[in-house]
A = this chain, B = another copy of it.
Amino acid sequence: MKLKNLVSQRFKERPADCVIDSHALMVRGGYMKYVGSGIFSEFPTLRRVTQKIERIIREEMDAIDGQEVLFPVVMPAELWEESGRYDSIASELVRFNDRNKSRMVLGMTHEEAAVQLVREYGQSYQQYPFMIYQIQRKFRDEARPRAGMIRVREFTMKDAYSFHTSQEDLEEYYQRCYDAYNNVFRRAGVPEVVTVASDSGMMGGSISHEYMLLNEIGEDSIVLCTECDYRANMEAAENIVNNVSTGILNELECVETPDCKTIEDVCAYLKSDIAASCKAVVYQKNADDKFVIAFIRGDYEINETKLRNLVGEDIHPGVITEDDPIVAGYIGPVGISDKVEVYYDMSLKGAENLVCGANKEGYHYTGLNIEREMGEVKYFDLAKVNEGGICPHCGKPALTIKRGIEVGNIFQLGTKYTESMGMTYTDKDGVAHNPIMGCYGIGVGRLAASVCEAKHDAYGPIWPISIAPWEVHLCCIRPDDENAKEIADNIYSELKKHGVEVIYDDRAGVRAGEMFADADLLGVPIRLVVSPRNLKENKIEVSTRDKSLKDMVDVNDIINYVVELKNKMFAELA
């Protein structure tokens, strides 16, 4: 295709509202257009990228015996009531009434639709295992869309659902899918994507993994061990704290702590170590606003996901008023109202002589020893891991925390959906069971943007050849020069004949600098420059977008050279 016919604009200036580079470059390069909050249109350049990603995903899903289907975007509420998610998911799930006042939802994921599709098909054990997938638009009403195509409300997603008659069979298939996902990311040019153990959240199930592209703009915190291969999402990372006993237990003492509203204030005022404090973190249940208090060592933070999973329902940070049975800033275990739910983090286990609130305005206790004061208590893992924390695998204090963009996820769902939706199969002996499910997702647009974020320079994206909008960017520097134009035209048609995808810039009256800036923004891996000057020596300039190669190639050899270079680039991702 000729660049002058490409429907897209390119801009020199970084748009003011773009926080991350990939977003800025994809706007500047004419890839995407803002339609509404978290909603974008794709220009032809991006659509070429997303189609290539979709093709790679299809091939890998077909290779693990996936069968492509299509579920609807709009579904009746009744389907989501069968699984219970119509009520359990908050406002991310769009609900509306159709013209007949029937309640409908917009699909943000399709477990219900998958079970509905195969509920009759899967009635005999002989049909198992099987996997179905789709590539389809989804809408999730995110509270805070951000970062261009990284966190949007409407997106294209490949979602797959597998069905099994045993946990072993699920695990075997899960491993195949795990590998297929690695293939997808390698072939898409980001082999550095890592898997981390994750929390399953609202999907149900137990074991799950996220595929993370480590990148500082990511909104997930990843815990990695620098001494072994342990990796986990912060939400799922186990926090290990070993409190060492001194053997000396102080008396519990109530002390005045005027104007000390935070644990930091109190410890500063009392000149005690913040690690020797018991901090109260206050939440409320979404359903009835009942208070949930999590006690934790002062130098740790609560991991809301862990706490939510423990409580078993949605919670939000609490707001305490004068009428409530707890005193903001002065909450402690001793004498706390029995109208609130109380949980203790593992970091407090064995911790001695702590500072804590006295449940009385202006007062704290010192010398808190939880089991002495409270009797036997149960401790739960509720804390976020700290930098330098203890690795749950190798036991070394070698944990580090990085940011990552989640580009895919896989879940062992278990029977959550098949049970709630009454899907059963009959085994060899005629006994009915609920099939065990796995589900597997990749966001297409997010992967495109993530690759751009991971592979770019100041001038534009550096697309891997497998998902680049074109394979070769051909510039004819002086199309008014007849010889140059003829040779460039010829290269263009010859490359196309050889199955090479070419974007051809033969715009008249455009300076070389502008042509190159546009080429940088399109990020095509192989660049050819035809210019009257080089043609004096019968040469074409070849370079790669990643600057690893710059060569002068004889006009007669150029087609073979490019075809070989292209094949080599693909081979590197194979």
Which residue numbers of A lie inside 8 Å of B, CB to CB?
Answer: 1, 5-9, 30, 33, 35-37, 39-44, 46-48, 50-51, 65, 67-76, 79, 91-92, 94-96, 98-100, 102, 104, 106, 113, 116-118, 120-121, 127, 130, 132, 134, 136-137, 139, 141, 143, 153-154, 156
In the complex, are the beta carbons of A47 and B70 less than 8 A apart? yes
In the complex, are the beta carbons of A121 and B9 less than 8 A apart? yes
In the complex, are the beta carbons of A74 and B113 less than 8 A apart? no
In the complex, are the beta carbons of B40 and A72 less than 8 A apart? yes
In the complex, are the beta carbons of A35 and B67 less than 8 A apart? no
When C-beta atoms are compared, the residue in chain B nearest to A119 turns out to be B33
Q: List the B side residues contacting A7 at CB < 8 Å.
A: 67, 69, 118, 121, 127, 130, 132
Per the bound structure, the CA–CA distance linking A118 and B95 in Å amounts to 31
Q: List the B side residues contacting A70 at CB < 8 Å.
A: 41-42, 46-47, 50, 156
Per the bound structure, the CA–CA distance linking A102 and B44 in Å amounts to 29
CB distance from A124 to the nearest CB of B (A): 11
Interface residue from B9, B46, B68, B71 paired with A120 (Cβ < 8 Å): B9
CB distance from A139 to the nearest CB of B (A): 5
Interface residue from B5, B134, B139 paired with A130 (Cβ < 8 Å): B5
Q: List the B side residues contacting A6 at CB < 8 Å.
A: 67
In the complex, are the beta carbons of A74 and B41 less than 8 A apart? no
When C-beta atoms are compared, the residue in chain B nearest to A98 turns out to be B141
Q: What number of copies of this chain does the assembly contain?
A: 2
Q: List the B side residues contacting A153 at CB < 8 Å.
A: 74, 98
With A35-B116, A42-B70 already in contact, 10 other A-B pairs whose C-beta atoms are closer than 8 Å: A7-B121, A35-B76, A36-B72, A42-B69, A48-B68, A72-B154, A74-B139, A94-B98, A96-B96, A137-B137
In the complex, are the beta carbons of B9 and A41 less than 8 A apart? no
When C-beta atoms are compared, the residue in chain B nearest to A104 turns out to be B36
Q: List 28 A-B contacts (CB under 8 A).
A: A5-B65, A7-B67, A7-B118, A7-B121, A8-B121, A33-B117, A35-B76, A35-B116, A36-B72, A36-B102, A39-B72, A39-B74, A41-B70, A41-B72, A41-B113, A43-B69, A46-B70, A48-B68, A70-B156, A73-B154, A74-B106, A74-B153, A74-B154, A92-B99, A94-B96, A98-B141, A136-B137, A137-B137
Per the bound structure, the CA–CA distance linking A39 and B75 in Å amounts to 8
Per the bound structure, the CA–CA distance linking A74 and B67 in Å amounts to 27
In the complex, are the beta carbons of A139 and B39 less than 8 A apart? no
Given contacts A41-B69, A94-B98, contact A35 B75 (CB under 8 A): yes
In the complex, are the beta carbons of B40 and A68 less than 8 A apart? no
Q: List the B side residues contacting A39 at CB < 8 Å.
A: 72, 74-76
Given contacts A69-B44, A96-B94, A154-B73, contact A35 B113 (CB under 8 A): yes
